[in-house]
Structure 1
């Protein structure tokens, strides 16, 4: 299958010229790298060309690389039922740049693009209904970005006095604590293993097996 994908990649590159940056086979899958400005042309070709015939859009997802100038990869997973083959198209885009919407080529792209916008903040130019789809109304930020705090920015709760749901800044009820316990693997490497909890036992019982049990 790898050779077949390599031949298909060569066919795509030859037909589309500079609309394709490069193609390669990675882990048995065909990867096609495309500049954002040429995305619509490439997707249309992959859908209609007889050797490709990728009629089904399986998914659109984002990948975050905060250290890159083009921060995001937008990944399109395509399937050809006729040829039983798959293709993955990748587009690199900056944080303040937009990707052409694929709704006119694959109608199913509408909700996938909304998900990528909601979770990563990636804009899709031409999407007829680019709204959040998974997070709540008034949600701040994009939770799949790697710089998004694990605690979020706000918390939601029902206020009994106001009889409605309210948003408040996140308040941590417990301060961060640093534990010095050794992991079980490190602890067992000590001359006399002492695991968390053993310090409560008498010195002659530390590291000993429970009564009735032997190694």
Structure 2
């Protein structure tokens, strides 16, 4: 499999090298790094070229790297059933950048792009219906960003007195605890039966 991927990597660099910033084999898969300007053209070529035929759209997801200048990565996975080959396309984008929507090439990218927008705030230009998919209508923020608080900003509950769903600021009801590791509930300072074997 790796020889066919190496041949494909060479073919892509020779035929469409201006669209590819980097091509690497990692963990038995071919990774192609491109830019937003070349993204749609590259996807179209990978789908239509006789040597590629990546006609099956598998997945699209976002990745957050807050330490990078271009914080997000859009990662697309494609499959060529004819050649039994998978490929991964990556492109980096900033918080305010837009990525061209892949729905013009693969209509199945629709909900995947909506999820990436909903969870990370990645904007896709030309998407037919870019709105939140998994979070509530009035949700603020993007929950899979690394800087999003694990408690969230608001909590939602049904209030039986007003007979509707209410949104309230998050209140942490438990204060910071100091753990007593000598407590039998936290851990022991004596050897439990069977633990003596671990030092042998």
Name the TM-score, length of structure 2 as normaliser.
0.92
| Separation in structure 2 between the aligned mates of residue 208 and residue 100 of structure 1, nearest angstrom | 61
Q: Which runs of 5+ in 2 are unaligned?
A: none
| Separation in structure 2 between the aligned mates of residue 30 and residue 166 of structure 1, nearest angstrom | 48
Structure 2 residue aligned with 1:207: 190
Structure 1 residue aligned with 2:161: 161
Counterpart contact for 1:198–1:207, Cα < 8 Å: no
Using the TM superposition, give the Cα deviation of residue 58 of structure 1 relative to its aligned residue in structure 2, in angstroms: 0.4
Structure 1 residue aligned with 2:10: 10
| Separation in structure 2 between the aligned mates of residue 19 and residue 209 of structure 1, nearest angstrom | 62
| Separation in structure 2 between the aligned mates of residue 150 and residue 48 of structure 1, nearest angstrom | 43
1:62-109 deviation digits (Å, cap 9, x = unpaired): 110001110001000000000100000001001100000010100001
Structure 2 residue aligned with 1:197: 184
Q: Does 1:113 align with 2:121?
A: no
Name the count of aligned residue pairs.
Answer: 194
RMSD of aligned residue pairs (Cα, Å): 1.9
Using the TM superposition, give the Cα deviation of residue 208 of structure 1 relative to its aligned residue in structure 2, in angstroms: 5.7
SS at structure 2 position matched to 1:166: strand
Query: Which one is further off, 4-13 or 54-63?
Result: 4-13
Structure 1 residue aligned with 2:91: 91
Using the TM superposition, give the Cα deviation of residue 3 of structure 1 relative to its aligned residue in structure 2, in angstroms: 1.9
| Separation in structure 2 between the aligned mates of residue 9 and residue 50 of structure 1, nearest angstrom | 15
Q: Which runs of 4+ in 1 moved over 6 A?
A: none
| Separation in structure 1 between the aligned mates of residue 89 and residue 138 of structure 2, nearest angstrom | 32
| Separation in structure 2 between the aligned mates of residue 18 and residue 198 of structure 1, nearest angstrom | 62
1:85-134 deviation digits (Å, cap 9, x = unpaired): 00000010011000000101000011110000000000000001001001
Return closer, same or farther for 1:5/1:208 CA change in 2, 3 Å cut-off: closer
SS at structure 1 position matched to 2:102: coil
Structure 2 residue aligned with 1:187: none
Which aligned pairs between 1:51-62 and structure 2 lie closer than 5 A?
51-62=51-62
| Separation in structure 1 between the aligned mates of residue 119 and residue 191 of structure 2, nearest angstrom | 50
Using the TM superposition, give the Cα deviation of residue 14 of structure 1 relative to its aligned residue in structure 2, in angstroms: 1.3
Name the TM-score, length of structure 1 as normaliser.
0.85
| Separation in structure 1 between the aligned mates of residue 107 and residue 12 of structure 2, nearest angstrom | 23
Q: Which runs of 5+ in 1 are unaligned?
A: 182-194
| Separation in structure 2 between the aligned mates of residue 139 and residue 107 of structure 1, nearest angstrom | 27
| Separation in structure 2 between the aligned mates of residue 180 and residue 28 of structure 1, nearest angstrom | 47
Query: Which one is further off, 105-114 or 5-14?
Result: 5-14
Which aligned pairs between 1:13-28 and structure 2 lie closer than 5 A?
13-28=13-28
